[in-house]
Structure 1
Amino acid sequence: MDARSYLFVPGDRPERFAKALDTGADAVVIDLEDAVVPAAKLAARDGLQRWLATADPARLMVRVNAVGTPWHLDDVAMVSACGIAALMLPKSDSAQQLADVAARLPAATRIVALIESVAGVVAMRDIAAAPSVTRLAFGTVDFCGDAGVEGLGAELDHVRSQMVIESRYAGLAAPIDGVTLELDDFARLTEHVAKARRFGFGGKLCIHPRQVEPVNRGFAPSEDERRWAARVLAACREHPEGAFAVDGKLVDRPVIERAKRIAAFDTLTQ
């Protein structure tokens, strides 16, 4: 199952790492980039490396510092040496950047390309096809700053659609939507998750543990969807050869495949 919730935790707060893993987040992103001030970056990396010596890295991902910064190459080398299965590259602006990072990592390491700039959006098709990239994520706040866009809602609908299309074209998992900045407004968070899911996104970046459960729930099938899937699959068994309708609507192959994905969800999350 593709991860739904990606919880950021500051890379210079090792006392929070295990707590983040206990939140139920599908993936915990230890952040060496925006969450750590420049003066603390070396100590944060060293502390993370010591912690990883006794930790299970299965659900961990590290957001390294961006290409061209003084810390980038050593961050990538640390990820490579510690056996972490996934890396998030901020400010992914070109396929060459992703290829250079992949060349420094074990072949099995997964890369999430964080699209945060106009250059990244323009190059998105090539980025999605780059070696080891398994998913795209949308850095909405930084993108707005770079593009001069004022607003995180409908103003970004075109980019969201493009990200879904390019992910699908490249055979990647559904992309990851950006953060919701309102930490205590769960109605807003629920609205954002529902919109992202309608657009074709499969997960969301989280900046607080309280956001994890609503995000996981929002990207899971509802009870109505589960019941619908059961009706479709039951009718499919009764009509293995011919066309049929469920709830007054014609069922074709894409509908059947969607029903199968919904029916398989609970098995995959156990």
Structure 2
Amino acid sequence: AALPAADRARLLLRINPPGTPWHADDLALVARLAAARAIAGVVLPKAESADQLARLAEAAGPEAVLVPLIESAAGLAALDAIAAAPQVLRLAFGHLDFQADLGMACDAQEAELVPVRLALVLASRRADLAAPIDGIATDWRDTERLTAEAVRARRGGFGAKLCIHPAQVAAVHAALGPGAEELDWARRVVEAVAQAGGGVVNLDGRMVDAPVVRLAQRLLALDAQA
């Protein structure tokens, strides 16, 4: 209650997963907080069905956003239904719990999880959601690994990364956001197309068509929300 309204409008509450002894009490708490406009939405761990999200949406109210964490084989199997559930803002990947659920033991490269991450990106695109959120880096002091993970996330189509410590935020923003050269290119693309009145144009000896314009617009949108 002491938080300013602008901060409450950005606050997501992570509750306990369905099937735990605390989930029902958490849903009741979500309903009270949502009614008081104390939170913007809810993060649901171990999301495994659209029905779970429907019950959560009922408790949180129609204005709340939902962020399901995909952390199990069952969650992966229900990915499209979860992504299409009402009020879902974007998907998030709980890669550590996912490994535990499947008995995996990935190294730092996590090559075994490439197809799983791609599945989240594809499901997000099919449901017209924002790009998904990648999992945490457990050692908040290891900036080099954090940056490498965030760069990998961006290359793979993710648009955000979960953090466990405020010290991680700057590195994640730097790695996931567009660089100065990318922004300069994006502005020149948009300007060239505008001057040409649309259609296909040539910029720096390369063809610029609709997919390239969409990429440029996405980079500029990312910069605007930083």
TM-score normalised according to structure 2 size: 0.91
Question: Where is the strand percentage greater, Structure 1 or Structure 2?
Answer: 1
2:172 to 194, 212, 215: 215
1:188-209 Cα deviation digits (max 9, x unpaired): 1111111100111000011111
Question: Which sections of structure 2, spanning at least 5 residues, go unmatched?
Answer: none
1:113-151 Cα deviation digits (max 9, x unpaired): 000000000110111111221111000000000011111
For residues 91 and 251 of structure 1, do their structure 2 counterparts lie closer, same or farther at Cα, with a shift above 3 Å needed? same
Asked whether 1:255 is paired with 2:212, we answer yes
CA apart distance, 1:104: 1.7
Residue aligning to 1:168: 125
- Would you say the 8 A contact 2:199–2:209 is kept in 1? no
The number of aligned residues is 217
Q: Distance in 2 between matches of 1:222 and 1:159?
A: 27
For residues 178 and 246 of structure 1, do their structure 2 counterparts lie closer, same or farther at Cα, with a shift above 3 Å needed? same
2:71 to 116, 136, 139: 116
1:73 to 16, 21, 24: 24
| Equivalent position SS for 2:100 | helix
Correspondence 1:84-233 to 2 at 5 A: 84-151=39-106, 153-233=110-190
Q: Distance in 2 between matches of 1:257 and 1:267?
A: 15
Q: Distance in 1 between matches of 2:225 and 2:46?
A: 32
CA apart distance, 1:183: 2.0
For residues 147 and 231 of structure 1, do their structure 2 counterparts lie closer, same or farther at Cα, with a shift above 3 Å needed? same
Residue aligning to 1:239: 196
Residue aligning to 2:11: 60
- The AA in structure 2 aligned to 1:54 is A
Question: Which sections of structure 1, spanning at least 5 residues, go unmatched?
Answer: 1-52
Q: Distance in 2 between matches of 1:171 and 1:265?
A: 17
Q: Distance in 1 between matches of 2:149 and 2:170?
A: 14
1:206-244 Cα deviation digits (max 9, x unpaired): 111111111112121101101111221222123224422
- The AA in structure 1 aligned to 2:2 is T
Higher relative contact order (CA 8 A, sep 6+): 1
TM-score normalised according to structure 1 size: 0.77
TM superposition outliers: structure 1 runs of 4+ over 4 Å: none
- The AA in structure 2 aligned to 1:268 is Q
Q: Distance in 1 between matches of 2:213 and 2:28?
A: 45
Which stretch has the larger CA shift, 241-250 or 176-185? 241-250
For residues 150 and 247 of structure 1, do their structure 2 counterparts lie closer, same or farther at Cα, with a shift above 3 Å needed? farther
Q: Distance in 1 between matches of 2:199 and 2:93?
A: 42
Identity %: 47
